[in-house]
Amino acid sequence: MKQLLIKNIKQLVQVEKENQPYIAGAQMAQLPSIDNAYLLIKGAYISAYGPMSELNEAALPADVEVIDATDRLVLPAWCDSHTHLVYPKSRDVEYVDKIKGLSYEEIAARGGGILNSAKLMQTASEDQLFDDAMVRLQEIITWGTGAVEIKSGYGLTLDSELKMLRVIKRLKEASPLTIKSTFLGAHSIPMEYRGQQEKYVDLVINEMLPAVAKEKLADYVDVFCDVGFFTVEDTDRILNAAAKYGLTPKIHANELDYSGGIQVGVKYNALSVDHLEFTGEEEMKALKDSGTMPTILPGAAFFLNMAYAPARQMMAAGLPVALASDFNPGSSPSGNMQLIMAMGSVLYRMLPEEVIHAVTKNTAYAMGVDKELGSICVGKKANVVITKPIPGIEYLPYAYGENKVETTILNGAVS
């Protein structure tokens, strides 16, 4: 089997002897690392690591491929547990409306926003969607992402939702990234259902969910549970129906108000609840020891000029925190997880160590890949990044405009 040795690593970051599901509270500030280290990869998996002093290079096969990582750090590749990166077109015109002062709800109420993308989706071809998404995937690999969750939700009709999910299925087969797909039929209420949204919820439950399950097109189910979108009752009905198909929730919650979304997500053992700008004591109590990962999406809060989720209070309460990109054309038009790390640190006052856990271990958990990804651990998939020569981990969130990643290795191969 092919072996790849990365040697003379200045710092091998996020090493774990035994895999923990996620990192919470004060532990997030501890980042186990090894200075002057090596990492050995066999096939697609991590087979050994340690200090250079323990490396017996002579014992390796003659054809081992060697990368010299002098002055460079090696970390697990980022896991981006929340994106909408299959979409037909950018929405830069709306962006100007936003700058002029229109709110996210105002744009949505007049048929813009998600409905704008949904209209374009009706006529978009599967091949075009696939090609455009492949370009986006290629780009996020260069920024160091190794795994990504992608949602439907710009279809909002049976056919278009299935079209999006089939595109995600093709992406899973064609891309070296680890990809998970999420069915988000309940992303927005189509115009013709306004005032009778329970009928749209019926459609999601009675037609979309069975078809998605039949074709095995989704790993997870999502609902945008927030003011102006889906109510707690709608969400409860959808998650209850989805559970019958074995679909675990990962939901949009508490972005626009104290919507009750966090609590209903926890009730259905959601893998994650995402956004969380409106999180108070009650919500944190519900999340404590729940197994539901609180996931903050700094790109959307920044772009929409929202209040920021209380990351420090969450960690002080002993909760884990994950950070994902929310890459989408309406509220976060970037999948650059290094930028998300910078935002996590500057806007949410998270330490570099905390930010690194938040985009690796904790997002791996939030997308259900924590057993195979998220840390440097023997037996895990070899999805790692080698940085350019940089001073240390602090430089990762600090130099926010620069690509600090030189090489992304996915499944043991340079991508």
Residue in the shown chain whose Cβ atom is closest to ligand NIG: 330
- Identify residues 182-211 at the interface with ligand NIG (CB under 6 A): none
Shortest distance (Å) from residue 140 CB to ligand NIG = 17
- Residue 355 three-state SS: helix
Contact residues for Fe ion, defined by CB under 5 A: 326
> Binder to ligand NIG among 76, 113, 249, 344 (CB under 6 A)?
113
State residue 373 phi and psi, 5-degree precision.
-140, 175
Matching residue, tokens 């049976």: 158
* Contact flag: residue 354 with ligand NIG (CB under 6 A): no
* Contact flag: residue 84 with ligand NIG (CB under 6 A): yes
- Taking the least distance from each CB to ligand NIG, the nearer of 31 and 323 is 323
**Token reading at 151:** 């949602």
Contact, 41 vs 47, CB < 8 A? yes
Pairing label, strands 45-51, 145-151: unpaired
Rounded to whole angstroms, the Cα distance separating 221 from 212 reads 10
- Taking the least distance from each CB to Fe ion, the nearer of 80 and 326 is 326
How many residues interact with ligand NIG (rule CB under 6 A)? 14
* Contact flag: residue 328 with ligand NIG (CB under 6 A): yes
- Taking the least distance from each CB to Fe ion, the nearer of 283 and 326 is 326
The DSSP call for residue 266 is H
- Asked if residue 330 belongs to a known ligand binding site, the reply is yes
Q: Longest C-alpha distance within the chain, in Å?
A: 72
Of 43-51, 156-164, 328-336, 368-376, the segment contacting ligand NIG by CB under 6 A is 328-336
Least Cα distance to 209 among 178, 184, 234, 176 occurs for 184
* Contact flag: residue 117 with ligand NIG (CB under 6 A): yes
- Asked if residue 328 belongs to a known ligand binding site, the reply is yes
Tell me how many degrees the CA angle 361-224-294 measures, rounded to the nearest 5: 25
> Binder to ligand NIG among 252, 267, 361, 380 (CB under 6 A)?
252
Rg of the chain over Cα atoms, rounded to whole angstroms, equals 21
The DSSP call for residue 220 is E
- Taking the least distance from each CB to Fe ion, the nearer of 149 and 326 is 326
In the annotated binding site for N-formimidoyl-L-glutamate, the residues are 154, 328, 330
Residues lying near ligand NIG in the complex (CB under 6 A) are found at 84, 113-114, 117, 224, 252, 255, 300, 326, 328-332
